[in-house]
Amino acid sequence: MKKFMFFILVCLSPLNSAFADPVGFGIKGGLDMACYVSNLYVPSPLISYDVVFGFTGGVFVDMGLNNFLFFQPEANFTMKGNQITYHHVGEINQYGQIVGYIDNTYTNTSNYLEVPLLLKAKASLGSQVKAGLFTGPAPAIALSSSVHFINPAPGNLPVHLRDNFDLGWIVGAGIEIDKFLLDVRYDFSFNTLFTNFTGSPNNSVLSLEVGYRIL
């Protein structure tokens, strides 16, 4: 938590004198499609890796730097994770003998409070329509993490992450029609999630969001 707050303060401190009041404020929500990325995660007939779907939502403020550039900090709840399925994988003992087979599906999910700090460029496509591109860092803090077993027996277990702080980078594009917004964004994490997990995975999330500009 201390690293998370320190990162936010460092990023926002140069802006304290640059803006007197926010130009705009709004709410948004949508769908996350999340997975883990690792160079060891190679699909095979025995092991498959799938995305998990979750909810994302939060608030945003945008501040005009000039006629087309905006600084847009956000505060979002977002879900990240993945699903792995073992298809009759042999379980080998210390003597190299197969002692059983694993048929199991489990889903890792982590819920984060994420604070993207985005630079957004917008261009007018008409009197009520604007299109934009945006990018920027996305520091986040994990609120909870768990693994859900689908078979052979349903159940949930807690998961201990390497670090609750997660630093990602977002790139995306959006369109605004009057006060309504539609964004597509990709969020990739630089942090390794686990210390004792094969593949040392990173978070990867594709999101589709709709929003409404209140101010």
CA–CA gap between residue 16 and residue 50 (Å, rounded)? 43
Distances (CA, A) of 167 to 41, 115, 151: 21, 10, 32
* 81 Rama class: left (phi>0) / alpha (psi -120 to 50) / beta: left
Q: In this structure, is the dihedral angle defined by the CA atoms of residues 197, 198, 201 and 205, taken in order, positive or negative?
A: negative
Give me the mean pLDDT over the 191-195 stretch. Answer: 69
Lowest-confidence region among 60-64, 155-159, 180-184, 186-190: 155-159
| Alpha-carbon dihedral angle through residues 164, 170, 173, 176, given to the nearest 10 degrees | 50
Please check the confidence at residue 44 and state whether its pLDDT lies above 80: no
The more confidently predicted of residues 200 and 106 is 106
Domains annotated for the chain, with CATH where assigned, are 2-13+23-213 (2.40.160)
Give me the mean pLDDT over the 139-151 stretch. Answer: 81
The more confidently predicted of residues 149 and 3 is 149
Give me the mean pLDDT over the 40-47 stretch. Answer: 69
Please check the confidence at residue 11 and state whether its pLDDT lies above 60: no
20 pLDDT band (50/70/90 cuts)?
very low
Give me the mean pLDDT over the 68-77 stretch. Answer: 94
Q: Provide the token pair at 170.
A: 């977002």
77 pLDDT band (50/70/90 cuts)?
very high
pTM (two decimals)? 0.78
Lowest-confidence region among 1-15, 62-76, 152-166, 199-213: 1-15
pLDDT given for residue 107 in this prediction: 85
Please check the confidence at residue 103 and state whether its pLDDT lies above 80: no
Mean pLDDT score of the chain? 81
